[in-house]
Chains A and B, each alone.
Chain A
Amino acid sequence: MNDTALRWPSPTALLRAAAVVLVAWLLLESVAALAHDISQADRAAVARIEGPAPGAFLYLGAKHMVTGIDHILFLIGVIFFLYKLRDVVIYVTMFTIGHSLTLLGGVLLDTGANSYIVDAIIGFSVVYKAFENLGGFRKLGIAINTKLAVLGFGLFHGLGLATKVRDLGLSDDGLLVNLISFNVGVELGQVVVLTVVVTLFNLWRSTRTFASGAFYANLALMAGGFLLMGYQLTGYFTS
């Protein structure tokens, strides 16, 4: 196993990596298309909502998390090498604190950043996490407090969520209730995503392919992050 790590990957490993990339790609495409279409309808629905509607916003928050490929990729990166439930809880809590701060603050204080730039940084957070998982920073001799990094990128994920909420066009009537419902929905959606991802990782980790596959899976994550960055930066420069 150690030998293969230093040589070119075997054809089967390459094939496996290609399959991972392809699946990630298809997932990205279909989810992005789906999320886009639904959000159009949601916007129209939200435009009709006046006053507190906790149920509706709870659902919308959960949906944005479950259909948001950028958040999902980041979460996959975060829990990739977390074997203990306690660690999962700690890291996810850091992420939650980060994104809740900027989600609530961003909407309530009415401060916005360019959504393309924020989404590009979210894409970068995926690249960062994949590079860290590859051991890149250790190799380069850079010490990073990974918990603080998750908190920091969480702030940007929250800014992205805040932009989505503002795009939905919340009315001032019942804003706080709706916003908090959205935030709670985001956390519920996160639990749904994590349940699936952690279960799949536990299944995968127990197999022999995990050690060799982890490298390629993180490369696929990184490619996904780069793709999101390119997509958003192009949007920024063409709009």
Chain B
Amino acid sequence: MTETDPTAPAPPSRKKLLLGTGAALAIAAVGLVVFVLPAEYGIDPTGAGAALGLTQLADGEKENIYLKRGQARTNVLFPLEASGEQDRVVVNEVFAEKGVTLPVGAQLEPDRFQIELLPYEGIELKYVLDKGAPMWFSWYADGPVNVDMHSHPFDGGTEATESFVIADLRNQSAVYVAPFSGIHGWYWQNRTMQPVKLTLDAVGMMTGSKIFDQGGEHDRPLSPPPAEGAAEGAASGA
């Protein structure tokens, strides 16, 4: 009592204190179960959240119009099981397995992209692919990265962006068939306080690549991996 002004009211009776605390707890519990949990987490044990239209807020948070557009596509991304390290495959077999047919006289280019992302650093790599051009890819990071795999057409620009995967991942392997002519690739961000090394191998009908970093957009030549590398072996099988 020495800490507060003597004019502060006398403490309430024990009963009033308990009732009051209980009432505060009950109000909080009702507010939590009826409003907050449905709206924030989509947890709706009473059904009130759905009735009040709150549960859509929880869904809405994850909803992304680009992702919605990209995931509405079929026959674009054919996920492969990632082995947890740098994958090695024979690209033609993988394409055949996924029912992807190569155009006559198709030229498959191998490419390797390596980068170390400092804490909270992000980088974007895009391949130039024509409509229907297939590409196998596999990337692996030695820590979790936040990735947005997305594309946008030359015709329509970033407004027409389509995202296929937005997630925290360590690796991803798939066959990708360009749904339109444009640039196709990944934005990776390291959201940890440790540096993360990332390696991407790709083999496909890429005709070029671009890097988007703090300095803006740069053209990047395709660079085949060293002879014993995964994609080189894969490419020779093509």
Contact = CB atoms under 8 A, between A and B. Distances in A.
Contacts of A138: 1, 11
Interface string B16-28: 1100110111011
Contact of B193 (A110, A134, A135, A224): A110
B28 A135 contact: no
Contacts of B29: 226, 230
Contact of B28 (A82, A211, A224): A224
A134 B28 contact: no
Contact of A231 (B24, B40, B119, B122): B40
Is chain A's binding surface mostly helix, strand, loop or mixed? helix
Contacts of A29: 35
Given A135-B17, A138-B11, A222-B24, A227 B5 contact: no
Contacts of A101: none
Chain B contact residues (Cβ within 8 angstroms of A): what range? Answer: 35 or more
Interface stretch (A55-63, A151-159, A167-175, A189-197): A167-175
A222 B23 CA distance: 10
Given A21-B27, A81-B5, A110-B193, A135 B12 contact: yes
Contact of B191 (A81, A87, A169, A230): A169
Contacts of B78: none
A135 to B, nearest CB: 3
Given A135-B12, A227-B31, A219 B23 contact: yes
A21 B35 CA distance: 14
Interface of B: 1, 3-5, 7-14, 16-17, 20-21, 23-25, 27-29, 31-32, 35-37, 40-41, 43, 118-122, 189, 191, 193, 214
Q: Which 3 interchain pairs have the tightest Cβ spacing?
A: A135-B11, A226-B28, A169-B120
Interface of A: 5-6, 21, 25, 29, 47-48, 50, 81-84, 87, 110, 127, 130-131, 134-136, 138-139, 146-147, 166, 169-172, 211, 214-215, 219-220, 222-227, 229-231, 234-235, 238
